[in-house]
Amino acid sequence: MAGSVGCPAIAIAAPASGQGKTTVTAALARLHARQGRRVRVFKCGPDFLDPCWHQLASGAPVHQIDLWMTGEADIAQRLHAAAREADLILIEGVMGLFDGAPSLADLAQRFGLPVLAVVDASAMGATLGAVVHGLRHYRAGLPWAGVLANRVATERHADLLRAGLNDPADWMGALPRVQRDAHDGAMATPAASTRARAGLLPERHLGLVAAHELADGLARLDAAADALAATPLGRLQPHELQRWAVRFAAPERPEPVPPLLEGRTVAVADDAAFCFIYRANLDTLEALGARVVRFSPLADAALPPCDAVWLPGGYPELHADRIAGHTGMQASLRAHVQAGRAVWAECGGMMALFESITLADGQHRPLWGLLPGRVAMQKRLAALGPQQLDVDGHVLRGHTFHYSTCDSPAPVRGRTERPAHAGPPGPGEALYRHGSIHASYFHAWFPSSPRAVAALLGADPDAPRGAA
């Protein structure tokens, strides 16, 4: 194929969530990166937290790819670009191999990506063979790499698992079972060694704890890489990885992004409370012509000079006291809004704008009070799934994922919709409009509609091309 580029690539899948895909992907990236190879990692589907670990492991930016949210053309462009500079491409799946529409299996078949299945084998023996047979043959023509058994108790247990496989070539090894350490929540083998305890990627209600929040994050990845290095998968040499080489066709040239934010500065909140940021979203702001500056609502005295503010999602509920107590930032945001300058607040960013929050333990805390209403944390997931939002006739794609609910009298400018492939229509997320504030639980993937993004940030989305 003219213009195509080849590179070893593996799609890392599982029969279900919680099998260990993220740890294995990050461990494999870390193992090869510390041996001097250029590794590029992608996350299938919407996710802010797993990519933090993959970026730490690989030392390179991590992007999302999803046949619906990001689209086939964008995926083709990103994989081709990665193949031109990488020695190995890893794609971590989402949920189970065939879960979702489109699924990781759909992505693997479309781009010819060999699938490595990670299976939690802690409570099975030879039945692993049946699970692997089903994953491999459920859909004809699925590219295949093999299976890595996770959470295996002993070498004898590993032997039983391996013996159950129909094709011995499927065996990529076994990773040991680990236990949670009651003292620090980290992982511990029966020997409870320091390096073993460093291996767990800890979780909380929205998923993994972000890598930047743990001082020993790299040590945890090194411990996981060390364990993987003892497996057949981890012992593969560069020339052996060529068995999984994929040819990535040269993509079509994308449509240029109109410079609708040229000459404007967009301030992006980025700290422990507001950290759910797609790298591609920042790239889109810059492609629109914006000057992007980051700031910390928790630490900075005031907003930087700017024309618009983006408050992304994150964990305002974990920092409610600091948010409420930082009156300087509150006053700065209020002055920004009173001057008619745009604010786009999504999910956690919107939560912080409300008047108050009720935490999961029932305690009440004040917030910034720039958006009328209040928010309350729930013990169960309140909403999850792909969504799309029409803004002035321009449709943004993205998703929703939150453990809180809100009650606001603010005008509802519109609502998100569930795409047809995601099931029957249901109540979408409200898009609130209050003065110059637009706010919603919706997490937007900016490249899907740069014009819609420009509108949310105060520009005319239908300005002639080339107009600022």
Query: Which residues are the active-site residues?
Result: 347
Helix (H, G, I), strand (E, B) or coil at 317: helix
Q: At what angle do helices 104-111 and 72-85 cross, to 10 degrees?
A: 60
* DSSP bridge partners of 144: 115
Q: Which residues contact 340 (CB under 8 A, 6 or more apart)?
A: 435, 436
Helix (H, G, I), strand (E, B) or coil at 381: coil
- Residue 181, token pair as written in the block: 């350490």
Amino acid letter at 155? E
CA-to-CA distance for 440 and 429, rounded, in angstroms? 7
CA-to-CA distance for 114 and 292, rounded, in angstroms? 38
CB–CB of 101/22 below 8 Å?
no
CA-to-CA distance for 441 and 347, rounded, in angstroms? 4
- By the 10 Å C-beta count (0-12 exposed, 13-18 middle, 19+ buried), 372 is classed as middle
Residues in the chain: 468
Pairing relationship of beta strands 364-366 and 342-346 according to DSSP bridges: unpaired
Helix (H, G, I), strand (E, B) or coil at 414: strand
Q: Which residue has the tokens 């999504």?
A: 346
* DSSP bridge partners of 346: 440
CA-to-CA distance for 376 and 363, rounded, in angstroms? 10
CA-to-CA distance for 41 and 25, rounded, in angstroms? 8
C-alpha 62: how far from its chain's center?
9
CB–CB of 74/397 below 8 Å?
no
C-alpha 98: how far from its chain's center?
19
